[in-house]
Amino acid sequence: MAFTLLELLVVIAIIGILAALLLPALDAARQRALSVACMNNLRQLQICAHLYTVDNGDRLLPNNFVYDTQTEAPVAFGFSTNTTWCPGNAQLDLTPFNIEHGLLFRYNQSVAIYHCPADTATVKTPDGQSTHQLHTRSYNLSQSINGVPYAASGATVLLPPCFEKDSDITDPGPARLFVFIDVHEDEIVDSLFGIPPPGWEDLVEQTWWDLPAGRHNQGCNLSFADGHIEHWTWKAPKIFYGIGQSISNASDQLDFLRLQARVRPEWRL
């Protein structure tokens, strides 16, 4: 016996209801899978960083402000490729050249571990046009890890403190000091992540020197100096307005203070 038109409509309606119920769950599962893959990338980078420290007499990865190694005048401020863990500009790099010439590539020759699978941002041309080429890198290294902050060439600036050796990491301790972080796709440029440290005397107002990502259900992933990985959910959405943007609201301030507590302080408050 054939279905009547009414029965077919009822079946179609039931299928539609089931789809409406299942699709959000499937999307949530997909987002969780992407976050897990991102955390695994950070775990691999953290292992590589540890191997570098073992091979270099306890010294931590160099973490300077360096853009490019593909030209005759390759780097900003005269730095060589050995002064940063990963040279390059994530907004402009069309190939993994800079990753392959970074200090960690010898320990894991997979360029995929540098890119968050949820990062769908594309490389831009110098005039701001999309190339439809995904970023090759989504992660930065904390300023607390042997870092040098942004500064104009020749400028005299107060530098935020950093650890140069693994054995120096005491405040905060290894379980609280973040190392690698998932960076907002519109903010990431070089490979150093900066945030004003606690006690920063030049701090006129609280500002994000660099903005963390929010692509994992309004959260991001971080690795820590003791080797563990964490997923953080932000209280405020992370929306990029411009480099060095101010804290947008009270919830954003709580996120800022939470991350700020995971870098080396200027002094003990």
Q: What is the pLDDT of residues 13-26, one digit of tens each?
A: 778 777 777 777 66
DSSP state of 76: G
Residue at 33 is within a domain:
yes
Mean pLDDT of the chain: 85
Residue at 123 is within a domain:
yes
**Mean pLDDT throughout 68-72?**
42
Inform me whether the pLDDT recorded for 74 exceeds 80: no
β-bridge pairing 139-142 and 192-193: parallel
The more confident residue out of 20 and 157 is 20
Biggest CA-to-CA distance, the chain: 87
Expressed as residue numbers, the domain containing 209 is 7-260
**Mean pLDDT throughout 89-108?**
92
Residue at 267 is within a domain:
no
**Mean pLDDT throughout 51-76?**
71
Residue at 2 is within a domain:
no
The band of 199, judged by pLDDT with boundaries at 50, 70 and 90, is: confident
Contacts of 73 (CB under 8 A, 6+ apart): none
- In angstroms, rounded to a whole number, what is the distance separating the alpha carbons of residues 59 and 51? 11
Helix (H) or strand (E) holding 20: helix 5-55
The band of 102, judged by pLDDT with boundaries at 50, 70 and 90, is: very high
pLDDT digits (tens, 9 = 90+) for 27-39: 677 778 999 999 9
β-bridge pairing 219-224 and 229-233: antiparallel
The more confident residue out of 5 and 221 is 221
Can you tell me which residue has the tokens 């607390």? 144
**Mean pLDDT throughout 168-175?**
96
The band of 266, judged by pLDDT with boundaries at 50, 70 and 90, is: confident
Domain total of the chain: 1
Inform me whether the pLDDT recorded for 139 exceeds 80: yes
- In angstroms, rounded to a whole number, what is the distance separating the alpha carbons of residues 189 and 209? 12
The band of 161, judged by pLDDT with boundaries at 50, 70 and 90, is: confident
Residue at 269 is within a domain:
no
**pTM for the predicted model, two decimal places:** 0.83
Inform me whether the pLDDT recorded for 1 exceeds 70: no
Residue at 88 is within a domain:
yes
Residue at 80 is within a domain:
yes
- In angstroms, rounded to a whole number, what is the distance separating the alpha carbons of residues 229 and 223? 4
**Mean pLDDT throughout 170-197?**
95
Residue at 220 is within a domain:
yes
